Amino acid sequence: MPSFDRDHPRYKWVALSNTTLGMLLATVNASIVIISLPAIFNGIRLDPLAPGNVSYLLWIIMGFLLVSAVLVVALGRLGDMYGRVKLYNLGFVVFTFASIALSVDPLHGPAGALWLIAWRVVQAVGGSMVFANSTAILTDAFPASQRGMALGINQVAAIAGSFIGLVLGGVLAEWDWRAVFWVSVPIGVFGTIWSYLSLHELGERRRGRLDWPGNITFAIGLSAVLAAITYGIQPYGGHSTGWTNPWVVAGLTGGVALLIAFCVIETRVGDPMFHLALFRDRTFAFGNLAGLLQSVSRGGMQFMLIIWLQGIWLPLHGYDYAQTPLWGGIYLLPLTAGFLLAGPVSGWLSDRFGVRPFAVGGSLVVAASFLGLVVLPVDFPYWVFALLVAVNGIGSGLFSSPNTSAVMGAVPAGQRGAAAGMRGTFFNSGSALSIGIFFSLMIVGLAASLPHTLTAGLEQQGVPADVATRIGALPPVGSLFAAFLGYNPLAQLLGPTGVLAQLPPANAAALTGKQFFPHLISGPFHHGLVVVFFAAAAMSLVAALASVPDNSRASRRRRPAALADPQAEPVRA
């Protein structure tokens, strides 16, 4: 395994390849579980559609995202204080150990689910160490003239990893659900050894005290907000969502209050973990706003497209429900291809021609693709769908590299770890927020028409009115997650009632077949899709506006004196 001295001209490429592997590993594991959940729940003998089990399903997904969002700033700050490479290397170790523990889950039922949730949290701690420090390591290793290209490759790996995980998870889950976690072990061991042997500390260390009041208020506040969002998706009382749940309201209001207190604390402590003064730089502030909006819209699109494919389009085209998770990931490959094509190219071009045209143009391309998805029929021609998601991927790739380069190029060298952590917080918080925002929009849209549609459709097939009414009155989140997981919910809901055995064979076959549920849900689902994709398009347009402020020399002259960095190299606007 080659190892280069820190001054060797090839060292920067070693740093790029290692950190790109780390980012890919962390983000693949954020999504690999999503597509594999049916196999995982079967493996631990837990019915994901049983009452109360939705919480386990959500926390296996959200626990990783929540911890990643909460910890990246603190771990980036610790990297500034004690060494970015040191924290990065430790992250590989923690991540690999957690992957081993996940793959040997010895428990079943709710206890097995809690084992997975707990070790996913530990895995997220390791992933956060990698995520928070890899961007800063690259910024230290590369000159400004090549930084956009390097960060572009790194960020494309981070974003594309979430979509690669969908395909990889589907393939591995077909073999063995534990393989979803096994796959990270050899990669993690290799990356750990490689990083310890090859990476060197280049960044400036900033010794100081850890900001305990800031860390505590930030961690509790953001955790409360994201946990409240998780429970806000679930039904409460007679409502289809839980936003009226007193605990959800308390979590949101208390969490926001703590985050406000955190901002006050950070202006008063001598060595803050979150350098709010960085937001006086327009490039840093607006670049992070644009990144957050794109992260929210991208995360929401990912979930909506999975539901669209797995719950409606693939069954209508003859795929068994058990196969839809795998094929849903495969049919989203144009999205990943768009990322992989545009990201490195836009990073290289932005080094030569400036970041603003690509960040703004990429956001506009993404918005246009969302508007194209709005007018796409539910039972679409695949080539049109593939073209639109490929355009979306290209637009996101065009945006991500220049956005990252501009944000990281706007901060002093000694604060790059903290700045990377801040950016990582916005990135991961956007993914978590997207679930709450877009799932809630979809559930509200389904609640308006799905109960009547479902009840009427069941009665037409001979289901007794009382049973049809009871099933139609169930919270739409059940149907939504059934589609998300590749289940036919009617087979699950009608089976215990004994109704299927009493119906004529043709009616029973129709209810549990590939056509009835997708046709039934397509109208209400499309209404929700229109709302979701219009919201995503609006976010992308705001991101385009936020990307207009430049990172020129004039902008650098406006930077507060406390943040001036005489050694920083200008990034072309």
Q: Higher model confidence: residue 44 or residue 80?
A: 44
Question: pLDDT by residue (tens digit) across 218-242?
Answer: 888 888 887 888 788 777 777 767 7
Half-sphere exposure of 203 (CA within 13 A, CB side): 33
Same domain, 175 and 259: no
Instruction: Give the whole-angstrom CA distance, residue 428 versus residue 237.
Output: 30
Q: What is the DSSP letter of 236?
A: B
How sure is the predictor about 203, in pLDDT bands with cuts at 50, 70 and 90? low
How sure is the predictor about 483, in pLDDT bands with cuts at 50, 70 and 90? low
Half-sphere exposure of 137 (CA within 13 A, CB side): 33
Question: pLDDT by residue (tens digit) across 240-256?
Answer: 677 888 988 999 999 99
Give whole-number Cα distances, 269 to 42, 412, 420, in Å: 50, 19, 21
Give whole-number Cα distances, 31 to 4, 122, 168, 180, 407, in Å: 33, 16, 9, 11, 26
How sure is the predictor about 260, in pLDDT bands with cuts at 50, 70 and 90? very high
Same domain, 152 and 45: yes
CB burial readout 342-357, b (16+ within 10 A) else e = bbbbbbbbbbeebbbb
Q: How many CB atoms lie within 10 A of CB 243?
A: 18
Instruction: Give the whole-angstrom CA distance, residue 530 versus residue 376.
Output: 10
Average pLDDT, the chain: 80
Same domain, 164 and 303: yes
Q: Residue 31's domain is classified under what CATH number? A: 1.20.1250.20
How sure is the predictor about 4, in pLDDT bands with cuts at 50, 70 and 90? low
**453 Cβ contact list (under 8 Å, min separation 6):** 520, 521, 523, 524
Same domain, 332 and 362: yes
How sure is the predictor about 560, in pLDDT bands with cuts at 50, 70 and 90? very low
| Of residues 162, 140, 126, the one with CA closest to residue 24 | 162
> Strand pairing partners for 239?
236
When pLDDT is averaged across residues 457-481 and rounded to a whole number, the result is 81
Q: By residue range, what is the domain housing residue 305? A: 11-199+273-445+525-561
Per-residue H/E/C for 161-183: HHHHHHHHHHHHHHHCCCHHHHC
Provide the token pair at 165: 């995980």
Directed axis angle between helix 109-141 and helix 54-82, to 10°?
A: 30
Count, residues in the chain: 573
Q: 396 lies in a domain?
A: yes
| Of residues 180, 185, 149, the one with CA closest to residue 43 | 180
Same domain, 257 and 292: no
Q: What is the pLDDT of residue 54?
A: 73
| Of residues 84, 37, 83, the one with CA closest to residue 62 | 37
Q: 149 lies in a domain?
A: yes
Single out the residue in 272, 298, 317 at which a domain terminates: 272
Q: Cα Rg for the chain, rounded, in angstroms? A: 24
How sure is the predictor about 176, in pLDDT bands with cuts at 50, 70 and 90? confident
| Structural domains of the chain, count | 2
Question: Is the pLDDT confidence value at 368 over 90?
Answer: yes
Q: 474 lies in a domain?
A: no
Same domain, 254 and 341: no
Provide the token pair at 199: 């990476």
How sure is the predictor about 361, in pLDDT bands with cuts at 50, 70 and 90? very high
Provide the token pair at 372: 């194209």
Q: 493 lies in a domain?
A: no
Q: What is the pLDDT of residue 434?
A: 83
Instruction: Give the whole-angstrom CA distance, residue 252 versus residue 464.
Output: 42
Single out the residue in 247, 272, 297 at which a domain terminates: 272
To 5 degrees, how large is the angle CA 205–CA 280–CA 283?
A: 85
To 5 degrees, how large is the angle CA 343–CA 349–CA 354?
A: 110
Q: What is the pLDDT of residue 250?
A: 93
When pLDDT is averaged across residues 167-181 and rounded to a whole number, the result is 81
Q: How many CB atoms lie within 10 A of CB 250?
A: 12
How sure is the predictor about 380, in pLDDT bands with cuts at 50, 70 and 90? very high
Q: What is the pLDDT of residue 411?
A: 77
**505 Cβ contact list (under 8 Å, min separation 6):** none
Q: Higher model confidence: residue 279 or residue 498?
A: 279
Instruction: Give the whole-angstrom CA distance, residue 227 versus residue 221.
Output: 10
Say which range, 95-104, 359-368, 511-520, has the weakest mean pLDDT.
511-520
Give whole-number Cα distances, 447 to 305, 353, 439, 493, in Å: 19, 49, 12, 18
Element (H, E) at 39: helix 11-43
Residue with tokens 């997650």: 481
Directed axis angle between helix 382-409 and helix 144-175, to 10°?
A: 140
Element (H, E) at 213: helix 212-232
Q: Higher model confidence: residue 539 or residue 498?
A: 539
Residue with tokens 């999504």: 31
Q: 475 lies in a domain?
A: no
When pLDDT is averaged across residues 304-329 and rounded to a whole number, the result is 81
Same domain, 192 and 237: no
How sure is the predictor about 439, in pLDDT bands with cuts at 50, 70 and 90? confident
Question: Is the pLDDT confidence value at 105 over 80?
Answer: yes
Same domain, 286 and 246: no
Question: Is the pLDDT confidence value at 552 over 70?
Answer: no
Q: 338 lies in a domain?
A: yes
The pTM of the full predicted model, rounded to 2 decimals, is 0.78
Question: Is the pLDDT confidence value at 258 over 60?
Answer: yes
Instruction: Give the whole-angstrom CA distance, residue 61 versus residue 63.
Output: 6
Residue 328 and residue 35 in contact, taking contact as beta carbons nearer than 8 Å: yes
Q: 500 lies in a domain?
A: no
Same domain, 354 and 238: no
Sign for the CA dihedral angle at 224, 227, 232, 237 comes to: negative
Question: Is the pLDDT confidence value at 377 over 60?
Answer: yes
Same domain, 89 and 227: no
Same domain, 181 and 277: yes
Question: Is the pLDDT confidence value at 562 over 60?
Answer: no
When pLDDT is averaged across residues 166-194 and rounded to a whole number, the result is 83
Same domain, 108 and 133: yes
Residue 313 and residue 379 in contact, taking contact as beta carbons nearer than 8 Å: yes
When pLDDT is averaged across residues 364-382 and rounded to a whole number, the result is 93
Q: 168 lies in a domain?
A: yes
Say which range, 155-164, 344-353, 439-448, has the weakest mean pLDDT.
155-164
Question: Is the pLDDT confidence value at 366 over 70?
Answer: yes
Q: What is the pLDDT of residue 327?
A: 83
When pLDDT is averaged across residues 115-124 and rounded to a whole number, the result is 92
Single out the residue in 248, 272, 296 at which a domain terminates: 272
How sure is the predictor about 432, in pLDDT bands with cuts at 50, 70 and 90? confident
Question: Is the pLDDT confidence value at 7 over 60?
Answer: no
- 360: burial class by Cβ within 10 Å (0-12, 13-18, 19+)? buried
Q: What is the pLDDT of residue 545?
A: 92
Q: What is the pLDDT of residue 119?
A: 94
Give whole-number Cα distances, 554 to 281, 431, 491, in Å: 11, 34, 64
Q: Higher model confidence: residue 498 or residue 218?
A: 218
Question: Is the pLDDT confidence value at 373 over 90?
Answer: yes
